Amino acid sequence: MREVVAGIDIGGTNIKIGLVNAEGEVLWRSTVSTNQYPTPQILAEELHQLLLPVLNSHNYTLKGIGIGAPNGNFYKGTIEFAPNLLWEGVIYLTEIFQSVFKVPCLLTNDANAAALGEMLFGGAKGMKDFIFITLGTGLGSGIIANGKLVYGHDGFAGEMGHIIVKPEGRVCGCGRKGCLETYCSAPGLVKTYLELLSSSELQQNITAKEVFDKAVSGDKEANEAITFTGEILGKALAMAVHFTSPEAIFLFGGLAHAGDRLFLPVIENMEKELLPIYRNKVKIIHSALPQDDAAILGAASLIWQE
């Protein structure tokens, strides 16, 4: 009997499921689409049907289930008012999964889960103080201090994407203005690029990846847009350093692939806004988690770290 943990990542479009061993190997994985499950009870039951034969045929023992989910509350095991999910209100998801699978189940938001994944299986092995940032559709963050994930008193800590960096700045999905993620995210980069273009050149349907490709081929505005994104991110990271003084900040997700084009302005602007005692100490590192399995590894880490 080999012990495995099921890591489940619930997104607005897809749900990823994987079986992860103690070494952080993903032994089996699957993806299902989120909207086919009208209730979380049905999701739990159908995933049980899906996993049972896999567990039996490989002689795996299921040690527990870790779930990463938007607006996930670690303490209550709930998803609360997630704007991108069909399930409304407060969903007691870990209770449902525990009653169906009869194993321990823990849940947190996706960036927090990925931070744990980085600590157990990625580039933060042995680190006790670091910050993990996901740069995708939004900006997510997970903070590790004293070797523990910071959940906060209510289970919702680490919403760095929503600190206000520009009063009266861009409108955010959260209903406020000037949030960090309206600048430092894939859509934020595209918006910056479009703002830099003269109106006659407007290309409304460009993606962040296409902005990168343009930058690589020497496009001036595309390079400026990435530099601007790095500037704002670097200044926000400087603030973060003054709070928890991390050994490293890991960047993950689509935008992190921009490499030095993004990392250099991030580092330059962060260092510029640091108190001298923090300078030239904090490493800005690309996440070592594999892009495709990061969410599953992160979710599984909730159980493996116990």
Binding residues for a copy of itself, rule: CB under 8 A, are: 71, 80-81, 127-130, 143, 145-146, 148, 150-160, 162-164, 174-176, 235, 238-240, 242-247, 273, 275-278, 281
Alpha-carbon torsion angle 144, 147, 153, 159, nearest 10: 10
CB of 275 to a copy of itself, least distance (A): 4
Residue closer to a copy of itself by CB (options 2, 75) is 75
Instruction: Please state the separation of Cα 95 from the chain's center in Å.
Output: 24
Residue closer to a copy of itself by CB (options 127, 197) is 127
Residue closer to a copy of itself by CB (options 18, 265) is 265
Residue closer to a copy of itself by CB (options 18, 234) is 234
CB of 273 to a copy of itself, least distance (A): 5
Dist CA 151 CA 58 (whole Å): 35
Cβ partners under 8 Å of residue 276, min gap 6: none
Amino acid letter for position 172 = C
CB of 235 to a copy of itself, least distance (A): 8
Amino acid letter for position 228 = F
CB distance 170 to 182 below 8 Å: yes
* Start-to-end CA span in the chain (Å): 20
CB distance 172 to 138 below 8 Å: no
Instruction: Please state the separation of Cα 64 from the chain's center in Å.
Output: 21
CB of 232 to a copy of itself, least distance (A): 12
CB of 133 to a copy of itself, least distance (A): 12
Residue closer to a copy of itself by CB (options 31, 244) is 244
CB of 19 to a copy of itself, least distance (A): 29
> Residue 261 phi/psi, 5° resolution?
-55, -35
CB of 200 to a copy of itself, least distance (A): 32
Residue closer to a copy of itself by CB (options 175, 218) is 175
Residue closer to a copy of itself by CB (options 44, 184) is 184
Residue closer to a copy of itself by CB (options 174, 264) is 174
Is residue 294 packed enough to be buried (19+ CB in 10 Å), middle (13-18) or exposed (0-12)? buried
CB distance 44 to 100 below 8 Å: yes
Angle at 228 between CA 225 and CA 229, to 5 degrees: 85
Supply 193's token pair: 């690029």
CB of 215 to a copy of itself, least distance (A): 26
Give the closest residue to 253 by CA, choosing from 301, 205, 209: 209
